[in-house]
């Protein structure tokens, strides 16, 4: 009878999971991390999948043994308890084997981490400053800079208007970068800690007032990549998205020229403002 | 002190040897408490002083 | 024991507790204080749960419907503080109070009056903490991690929150000192350290962790206080301080803290599984060593909570390797539990069901923990719902399930009545389904890119948030069954035998059910 109940409930749970899975498939959206658009983001994705499958394999073995035992070694099936309660050999085996598995994970992880830490030889440096609650981008070698603020209308947030496709993920002025160039990104903040994150680039980095963090990226395909502030930064933490527009080199140059012309005067003022903070 | 009383209760059922043993146990418990409290204080002030010094 | 007359009564072996409210106010009895802790914890569990339901209701669909973002942030902050310091930790201290003296053959805790004090600080600390929600500017909204500079923007509530945290810390430290003093000094003759039940062992180690890290938290929040009101610059970059330094100090407390919430759970599971498998625990010694290794490692892994703050490469590598290492002793524990079940003769009463769910779901939380340990991948996972899913898997079907398993397991001993088994099983199945519907989709949300602590989200996250909210309400309301079952069992029910469970071993099961008000006034002999 207990078996029946467990089987029934197990079935229900399984049904629930399948239902959730089916719903997800219909909704046509990500269940998983994005492989992204940089060499690093693909490495990170591969690492993630490697560890995931290792965990799945270990889980299958451990839970398999456990369920086999739950099914066969139950009192209602007349099982008589054995009395064994220790084995040094077995303990050593299940200490050493996990160690080896961990080493096999640590090796690729270390390689990727070392590559991510090397921001040398960048062709372009952009300073990203977090504010409550918007981002500021300064192109250090180009002499331009601007704020990037959420452009989703308040009416959509309050359900007074229909939500558009990029609800909460659209800004008035995106960060525009060239593809195929190594870009050094310096993150800092003006008030509290923020975190600058674009999933397609494969990393996030905290923006800390008074300190500058260095990261880098090299985007391979043109496109618009969206992310959000990832560190709680107050009331409107959920409303300061990051939008990166990656353009082919020529188009990027055009955009740069246009920006210089348009923002020349204004930029001079605002960068000096940032320095005093 | 509290420790003394409770340990006396602990040993109440063992008549002749009860008293000295319970007092000894109370002393040990009191010593344990003092050491642990000192440890907690060390961590509290230690961390703050470390930061002040830094 | 606090009065001469009661200790006089004791010596004649027929002490009665005083009647009425005073009994609970002035009690120095470990059983009474254990009960107080457990009931306090249950109350806080429902208060923190109500906050969680407000959070999940707001996240049911995109847009702002129920609360404004500032209140949402207060809810996430308070939910965490209430659940960690108000629900999970006091529940374990309550279990320790009830069980440790009975398990080691001691008459009471070593310091009964301090015991009373450590409990009665708690209601005041939490009244203070919860009252901040009604202050101008609202309660704390910077997250339970209290990161400066954000936390310094808290309104009038700030000093009250700091004081409340100090009070909780004082309570925990006193509780921990009491537990260590009890275990080290009041064991019955013959109860050597390596004969102690694992629950006692895990609590001994947990108590050391508490004494080492609660003062560190207190120091950190004291420095926040002086930064805000006395012009110091510990964490203010403008004055030569470092906001990241706070994170280092906080997580030096914070990581051992998460083990404080799981080690006693390991102890409970190590008591329950052998009982219902009718087979001794596999690898007792290795369980003790694994617990000690986890406790040691917990002090050198803190910065894995801060991989994205921009540490030097060497630091990130060290903390990644150290964190991965924790998987080894944790794995040993899981393997030992499975081996204990292997070739046993199992039955599946409610405590065993919760224990099995614990092993499976805690292991899933362990897997996601291992994934989070990999620093380059953590750059993606960090501060997303993947992290939320991870720590809720180890805390809800981990710590909370173990507390429920313990409650069902020892309730017949405490009250002398059997709980309603049918209701217990119903509660189990609703909880286990609810908790998975609630937290499993959050893995997907995090991987798909949803940051944590946001009141509103982009449209692609809608479906899984809806599923998660449905699970939250199912799980939350199922807990009313638990409260009902516990209250009914206290009020009456079928008489429980002394041993209660066929496979139960240990000193507490040699006592009557319910045990007399004072137990082991004469120390038992342990062979």
Q: What is the pLDDT of residue A266?
A: 55
Name which of A76-85, A144-153, C160-169, C391-400 the model is least confident about: A76-85
CB contact at 8 A, C370 and C324 = yes
Which chain C residue's Cα is nearest to A213?
C310
3-state secondary structure of C42: helix
How distant is the Cα of C203 from the closest Cα of chain B, in angstroms? Answer: 15
Q: What is the pLDDT of residue A265?
A: 53
- Dump strand ranges (E) for C18-150: none
Q: What is the pLDDT of residue C4?
A: 37
Question: Residue A196 phi/psi, 5° resolution?
Answer: -95, 120
CB contact at 8 A, C519 and C97 = no
Can you say whether the dihedral through the CA atoms of C215, C77, C158, A231 is positive or negative?
Answer: positive
Strand partners, A186: A127, A214
Task: Kindly state the helix (H) or strand (E) to which residue A224 belongs, with its residue range.
Answer: strand A223-229
Task: Kindly report the average pLDDT of chain A as a whole number.
Answer: 85
**Residues of chain B found within 8 Å of residue C7, distances taken between Cβ atoms:** 5, 8-9, 12
Interior/surface letters C344-383, b for 16+ CB within 10 angstroms, e for the rest: bbbbbbbbbbbbbbbbbbbbbbbbbbbbbbbbbbbbbbbb
How distant is the Cα of A144 from the closest Cα of chain C, in angstroms? Answer: 26
Question: Residue A171 phi/psi, 5° resolution?
Answer: -125, 165
Q: What is the pLDDT of residue B51?
A: 85
Residues of C noted as catalytic: 79, 108, 144, 171-172, 255, 257, 259, 270, 304-305, 330, 333, 452
Q: What is the pLDDT of residue C91?
A: 97
**Residues of chain C found within 8 Å of residue B25, distances taken between Cβ atoms:** 185-186
Question: Residue A141 phi/psi, 5° resolution?
Answer: -90, -15
pLDDT-based confidence at A260, cuts 50/70/90?
confident
CB contact at 8 A, C443 and C386 = yes
Query: A75, C440: Cβ pair inside 8 Å?
Result: no
Q: What is the pLDDT of residue B27?
A: 86
CA dihedral of C31, C35, C41, C45, whole degrees rounded to 10: 140
Q: What is the mean pLDDT of residues B46-53?
A: 86
Question: Within 13 Å, how many C-alpha atoms sit on residue A183's CB side?
Answer: 25
Distance CA C474, CA A254 (A): 56
DSSP state of C83: I
Question: Residue C27 phi/psi, 5° resolution?
Answer: -65, 145
Q: With a cut of 50, say whether residue A125 has pLDDT above it.
A: yes
Q: What distance lies between CA C412 and its chain's CA centroid?
A: 22
Query: C69, A202: Cβ pair inside 8 Å?
Result: no
B25 contact C CB<8A: yes
Q: Quick count: other Cβ atoms within 10 Å of Cβ B15?
A: 8
- Tally C-beta pairs within 8 A across B and C: 106
> Among partner residues C108, C185, C219, which is closest to B9 by beta-carbon distance?
C108
3-state secondary structure of C222: helix
Greatest distance between any 2 Cα atoms in chain C:
72
Of A274, B14, A132, which is closest to residue C73 (Cα–Cα)? Answer: A132
A4 contact C CB<8A: no
Distance CA C163, CA B47 (A): 18
> Among partner residues A23, A168, A202, which is closest to C463 by beta-carbon distance?
A23
How distant is the Cα of A64 from the closest Cα of chain C, in angstroms? Answer: 10
Q: Which domains does chain A have, with CATH numbers?
A: 32-117 (1.10.287.90), 124-276 (2.60.40.420)
Hey, which of A60-64, A157-161, B47-51, C20-24 has the most confident mean pLDDT? Answer: A60-64
Q: What is the mean pLDDT of residues A170-185?
A: 94
Q: What distance lies between CA A200 and its chain's CA centroid?
A: 8
Q: Distance of CA A52 to CAs A32, A97, A103, A123, C271, Å?
A: 11, 18, 15, 35, 31
Distance CA C309, CA C390 (A): 20
Q: What is the pLDDT of residue A261?
A: 85
Q: Distance of CA C322 to CAs A58, C57, C202, C308, C388, Å?
A: 20, 38, 21, 17, 22
CB contact at 8 A, C346 and A82 = no
Q: What is the mean pLDDT of residues A138-161?
A: 90
For chain B, the domains span 2-53
Label residue C285 exposed, middle or buried (CB < 10 Å: 0-12, 13-18, 19+): exposed
Interior/surface letters A108-143, b for 16+ CB within 10 angstroms, e for the rest: bbbebbeebbebeebebbbbbbbbbbbbbbbbeeee
Q: With a cut of 90, say whether residue B54 has pLDDT above it.
A: no
pLDDT-based confidence at A84, cuts 50/70/90?
confident
Q: Distance of CA B18 to CAs B4, B12, B13, Å?
A: 12, 7, 8
Q: Which domains does chain C have, with CATH numbers?
A: 4-10+32-510 (1.20.210.10)
CB contact at 8 A, C325 and A102 = yes
> Among partner residues C324, C376, C437, which is closest to A16 by beta-carbon distance?
C437
3-state secondary structure of A148: strand
Task: Kindly report the average pLDDT of chain B as a whole number.
Answer: 70
Distance CA C361, CA C396 (A): 9
Query: Each residue's pLDDT tens digit in chain C (527 positions)?
Result: 333 334 434 444 446 777 788 889 999 999 999 999 999 999 999 999 999 999 999 999 999 999 999 999 999 999 999 999 999 999 999 999 999 999 999 999 999 999 999 999 999 999 999 999 999 989 999 999 999 999 999 989 999 999 999 999 999 999 999 999 999 999 999 999 999 999 999 999 999 999 999 999 999 999 999 999 999 999 998 888 999 999 999 999 999 999 999 999 999 999 999 999 999 999 999 999 999 999 999 999 999 999 999 999 999 999 999 999 999 999 999 999 999 999 999 999 999 999 999 999 999 999 999 999 999 999 999 999 999 999 999 999 999 999 999 999 999 999 999 999 999 999 999 999 999 999 999 999 999 999 999 999 999 999 999 999 999 999 999 999 999 999 999 998 899 999 999 999 999 999 998 999 999 988 888 87
A46 contact C CB<8A: no
Q: What is the pLDDT of residue A26?
A: 41
Which chain A residue's Cα is nearest to C281?
A85
Q: Which residues contact C108 (CB under 8 A, 6 or more apart)?
A: B6, B9, B10, C1, C28, C29, C30, C101, C518
CB contact at 8 A, C219 and C235 = no
A197 contact C CB<8A: yes
DSSP state of B13: T
* DSSP 3-state percent helix, strand, coil across chain A (nearest 5): 45, 25, 30
Q: Distance of CA C323 to CAs A173, C186, C248, Å?
A: 40, 36, 15
Got the DSSP string for A46-90?
HHHHHHHHHHHHHHHHHHHHHHHHHHHSBGGGT---------HHH
Query: C344, A235: Cβ pair inside 8 Å?
Result: no
């Amino acid at each position: 009878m207990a078996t029946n109940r467990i089987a029934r409930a197990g079935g229900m749970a399984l049904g629930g999971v399948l239902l959730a899975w089916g719903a997800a498939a219909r909704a046509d959206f990500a269940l998983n991390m994005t492989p992204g658009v940089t060499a690093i983001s693909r490495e990170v994705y591969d690492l993630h999948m490697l560890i995931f499958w290792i965990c799945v394999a270990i889980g299958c073995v451990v839970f398999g043994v456990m369920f086999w035992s739950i099914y066969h070694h139950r009192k209602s099936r007349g099982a008589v308890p054995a009395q064994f309660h220790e084995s040094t050999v077995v303990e050593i085996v299940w200490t050493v084997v996990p160690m080896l598995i961990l080493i096999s994970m640590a090796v690729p992880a270390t390689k990727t981490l070392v590559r991510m830490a090397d921001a040398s030889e960048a062709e372009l440096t952009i300073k990203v400053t977090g504010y409550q609650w918007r981002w500021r981008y300064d192109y250090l070698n180009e002499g331009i800079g601007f704020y990037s603020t959420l452009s989703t209308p308040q009416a959509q947030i309050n359900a007074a208007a229909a939500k558009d496709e990029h609800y909460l993920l659209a800004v008035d002025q995106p960060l525009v970068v060239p593809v195929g160039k190594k870009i050094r990104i310096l993150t800092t903040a003006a008030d509290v800690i923020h975190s600058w994150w674009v999933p397609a680039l494969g990393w996030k980095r905290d923006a800390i007032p008074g300190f500058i963090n260095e990261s880098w990226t090299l985007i391979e395909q043109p496109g618009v990549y969206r992310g959000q502030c990832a560190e709680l930064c107050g009331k409107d933490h959920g409303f300061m998205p990051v939008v990166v527009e990656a353009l082919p080199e020529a188009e990027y140059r055009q955009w740069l020229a246009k920006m210089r012309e348009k923002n020349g005067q204004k930029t001079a003022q605002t960068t000096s403002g940032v320095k005093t903070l | 002190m509290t420790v003394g009383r409770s340990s006396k209760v602990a040993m109440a059922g063992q008549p002749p040897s009860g008293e000295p043993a319970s007092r000894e146990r109370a002393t040990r418990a009191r010593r344990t408490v003092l050491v642990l409290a000192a440890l907690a204080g060390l961590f509290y002030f230690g961390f703050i002083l470390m930061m002040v010094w830094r | 024991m606090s009065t001469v007359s009661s200790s006089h009564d004791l010596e004649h072996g027929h002490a009665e507790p005083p009647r009425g409210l005073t009994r609970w106010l002035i009690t120095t009895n470990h059983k009474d204080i254990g009960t107080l802790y457990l009931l306090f914890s249950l109350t806080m569990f429902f208060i923190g749960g109500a906050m969680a339901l407000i959070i999940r209701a707001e996240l049911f669909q995109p847009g702002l419907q129920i609360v404004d973002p500032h209140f949402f942030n207060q809810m996430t902050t308070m939910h965490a503080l209430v659940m960690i310091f108000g629900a999970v930790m006091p529940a374990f201290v309550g279990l320790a109070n009830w069980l440790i003296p009975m398990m080691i053959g001691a008459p009471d805790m070593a310091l009964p009056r301090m015991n009373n004090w450590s409990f009665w600080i708690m209601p005041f600390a939490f009244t203070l903490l919860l009252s901040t929600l009604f202050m101008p500017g609202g309660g704390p909204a910077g997250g339970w991690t209290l990161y400066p500079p954000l936390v310094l923007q808290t309104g009038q509530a700030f000093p009250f929150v700091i004081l409340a945290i100090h009070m909780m810390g004082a309570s925990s430290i006193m509780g921990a000192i009491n537990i260590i003093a009890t275990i080290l000094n009041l064991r019955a003759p013959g109860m050597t350290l390596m004969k102690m039940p694992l629950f006692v062992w895990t609590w001994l180690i947990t108590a050391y962790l508490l004494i080492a890290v609660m003062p560190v938290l207190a120091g950190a929040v004291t420095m926040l206080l002086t930064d805000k009101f006395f012009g110091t610059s510990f964490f203010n970059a403008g004055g030569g301080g470092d906001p990241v330094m706070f994170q280092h100090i906080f997580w030096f407390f914070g990581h051992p803290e998460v083990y404080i919430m799981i080690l006693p759970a390991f102890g409970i599971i190590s008591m329950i599984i052998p009982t219902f498998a009718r087979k001794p625990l596999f690898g007792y010694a290795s369980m003790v060593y694994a617990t000690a290794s986890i406790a040691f490692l917990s002090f050198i892994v803190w910065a894995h909570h801060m991989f994205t703050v921009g540490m030097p490469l060497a630091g990130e590598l060290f903390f990644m390797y150290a964190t991965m290492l924790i998987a080894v002793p944790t794995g040993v524990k899981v393997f030992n539990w499975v081996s204990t079940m292997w070739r046993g003769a199992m039955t599946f009463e409610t405590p065993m069901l919760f224990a099995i769910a614990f092993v499976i779901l805690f292991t899933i939380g362990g897997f996601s923990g291992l994934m989070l340990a990999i620093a380059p991948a953590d750059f993606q996972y960090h501060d997303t719902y993947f992290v939320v899913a991870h720590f809720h898997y180890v805390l809800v079907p981990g710590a909370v399930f173990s507390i429920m398993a313990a409650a069902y397991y020892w309730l017949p001993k405490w009250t002398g009545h059997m709980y309603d088994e049918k209701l217990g099983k119903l509660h189990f199945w609703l909880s286990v389904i609810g908790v998975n519907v609630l937290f499993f989709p959050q893995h997907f949300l995090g991987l798909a890119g949803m940051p944590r602590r946001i009141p509103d989200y982009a449209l692609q996250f809608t479906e899984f948030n809806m599923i998660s909210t449905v699970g939250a309400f199912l799980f939350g309301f199922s807990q009313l069954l638990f409260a009902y079952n516990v209250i009914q069992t206290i009020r009456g029910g079928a008489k429980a035998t002394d041993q209660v469970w066929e496979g139960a071993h240990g000193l507490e099961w040699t006592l009557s059910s319910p045990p007399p008000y004072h137990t082991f006034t004469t120390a038992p002999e342990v062979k």
